[in-house]
Amino acid sequence: MADVGINRVSRRDFLRAGLVFGAGAAGLAAGYAAVPDVFTRAVYAAKKDGRSNDRVLVMVQLAGGNDGLQTVIPLRDGAYRDLRPRLSKAADAAMPIDQTFGLNKQLTGLKSLWDQGKVAIVQGVGYERPSGSHFDSIRVWETGDPARRQVEGWLGKTIAKNYDSAGHPLVGCACGATGVPGALRDLEATLTVINARQSFKFVGGDEMERAAGALYTSTPGIYGALFDTSVATARDTVAQLRTAASKYVPKATYTDNVRLPISSKNQLAAALQLAAELIVTGTGAKILHVTLGGFDTHYTQEARHDGLLGYLDSAVSAFYEDVSAYGMADRVMVATWSEFGRRPRENASAGTDHGTAAPLMLIGDPVKGGLYGEAPSLRDLDRAGNQKYTVDFRSVYQEILDSHLGVDPREVLDESFERLAFTRVPVSRNGSAMIAVAAG
């Protein structure tokens, strides 16, 4: 495509400019790292290629702290009913997945995938000395570091260490967001953020697009490199989406905004449809991130939480169906995460306060379905009345990195954790079935 060609030229010009001030880039990075509030992407990106297989990861953030006990529900636990006299009604309507647990009644699509062996549920996921703060705990999950020494996101680091994101800006993409999520941040990774598919174009047309590219070249100042990569990435992405549009029609019905729960700002269905489009049109998308907010259910939880789970279920189901119809379901793993679960004892407002450990789900053809880990006892709570975690969340990250993406997890997590073998056919790390990232 001519547009892509033009963009590549300008990208090279841009990189050359980066080299002129190359010494500055490292200094720039160091300057930002000293201030957690400020991050940027360096003007050059890691160029380590290889290790590219055709696997894709879609992370779904359930922001606010998803209530695990109302998601994977204990069916016959007296303690559950004692702690939650009102909310435990959910157990009666739950869809059993074994003798002990049932899925929330809203998760019908996921239950069907569970029956096909395509959903892994890891129970009791958390970390040592858990934080009750949304922001602190989100940071722990995003950086994969309960010691809070890391600034870079675990997915950003994965991209920086393994993929040529400067040449292929859709390698890491936040769909339905306006900013780079913390999990994707890394000084050396180029990330794309696409808020809304339809409006992602220059209203001033080609003239304005070229003007923007010319304006944002070697921009001075502490934000200069970030401005320039963002505008260059926007241009690349516009070109990619233009090409993709001719190759993609959704092959599933995504629920539209009408069903968006009022408590969430995030249009998950639209974001996942965009993710599917990026995957099936061969844009080189590797790690995608979407968010569904509204899980901070301190009051009148039942209807809100049910609404959110229903929306999650229909969006993820449509995404799976769509990707399957394009024959690519064997490549794609969806993984949910949330900063914490909720307090087992319900509060006076028929809601729940901040908790600790919770189950998370891995969904897709690459997944070996089943229950993993151990559900923490409701009769042995910590001093704050919260559950004691049984699985370190980095065990989940490790399996995703090692067996799904086929990259070295130690480069990202620094340590090794207990193996959770929820991947059906682990990919080989030395690159069997290698396909270039930018193929297609």
Partner 1 sequence: MGMEKQPRTRSLPPVDRRAVLGAAIAGGAGVAAARLLGLRRTVEVDAPQLTAEAVAKRSGLDWVSPLGDEATRVTHLLRRTGFGYTPAELEIALADGYQRTVDRLIETPPAEPPDLAGAEDASQAKGLRVVDLQSWWMDWAIRTPTPFAEVMTLFWHGHFTSDFRKVGLQSPYVYWQARTWRRFFLRDLRSILYEVTLDPAMLRYLDLSQSTGANPNENYARELMELYTMGSGSFTEDDVRSASRALAGWREPRTRAMVDAQIADTIKRTGSAPPRPPVADTVKTGVFERGRAYGGPDLTFLGVRRKWDTNSVLDRILEQESVAPFITRKVLFHFVGPEIEEATVTRFAERFRKSRHDMRTLMHDVLTSPEFTSPGAYRALVRSPIDFMVATAKALENPQLAKTAPASGEAMGQVLFDPPSVGGWPSNASWISSSTMLARINFATAAVNQTRKVPSASDAHAQFLDSTLSPQTLAMLNAVNDDRKRWAVVLCCAEFQLK
- Applying the rule CB under 8 A, the residues between 207 and 266 that interact with partner 1 are 207-208, 211-212, 214-227, 230-231, 233-234, 237-238, 262-265
Extract the runs of DSSP E, i.e. beta strands, from 154-310: 172-175, 192-194, 287-292
Interface with partner 1, residue 354, by CB under 8 A: yes
- Please tell me whether residue 44 binds partner 1 under the rule CB under 8 A: no
> Looking only at residues 276 through 315 of this chain, which bind partner 1 when binding is defined by CB under 8 A?
293-294, 296, 298-299
For the CB of residue 213, give the shortest distance to partner 1 in the complex, in Å: 10
Pick from 151, 160, 180, 272 the residue near partner 1 by CB under 8 A: 180
Q: Report the distance separating Cα 415 and Cα 406, nearest Å.
A: 17
CA pair distance 262, 182, nearest whole angstrom: 24
Q: Is residue 40 close enough to count as binding partner 1 by CB under 8 A? A: yes
Of 132 and 370, which has the nearer Cβ to partner 1?
132
| Closer to partner 1 by Cβ: residue 37 or 98 | 37
Shortest Cβ 179–partner 1 spacing (Å): 5
Using the minimum distance from each CB to partner 1, give the nearer residue, 32 or 326: 32
Whether the Cβ atoms of residue 56 and residue 332 lie closer than 8 Å to each other = yes
Residue appearing with tokens 């990861």: 57
Q: How far apart are CA 44 and CA 371, in angstroms?
A: 42
Q: Which is nearer to partner 1, 235 or 331 (CB)?
A: 235
Site for partner 1 in 125-144 (CB under 8 A): 131-136
To which H or E segment does residue 122 belong?
A: strand 119-126
In this chain, which of 1, 147, 196, 439 binds partner 1, going by CB under 8 A?
196
177 counts as binding partner 1 under rule CB under 8 A: yes
Is there binding between residue 85 and partner 1 (CB under 8 A)?
no
The reply to whether 38 sits near partner 1 by the rule CB under 8 A is: yes
CB 426 within 8 A of CB 398: no
**Contact present, 342 and 297 (Cβ < 8 Å):** yes
CB count in 10 Å sphere of residue 224: 18
CA distance 318 to 149: 38
Length of the chain equals 440
Q: Does 195 bind partner 1 (CB under 8 A)?
A: yes
How many whole angstroms separate alpha carbon 97 and alpha carbon 93? 13
Which stretch in 178-186, 277-285, 394-402, 417-425 sits in contact with partner 1 by CB under 8 A?
178-186
Tokens of 33: 């790292």
- Contact between 324 and partner 1 by CB under 8 A: the answer reads no
Q: Is residue 349 at the binding interface for partner 1, with CB under 8 A as the rule? A: yes
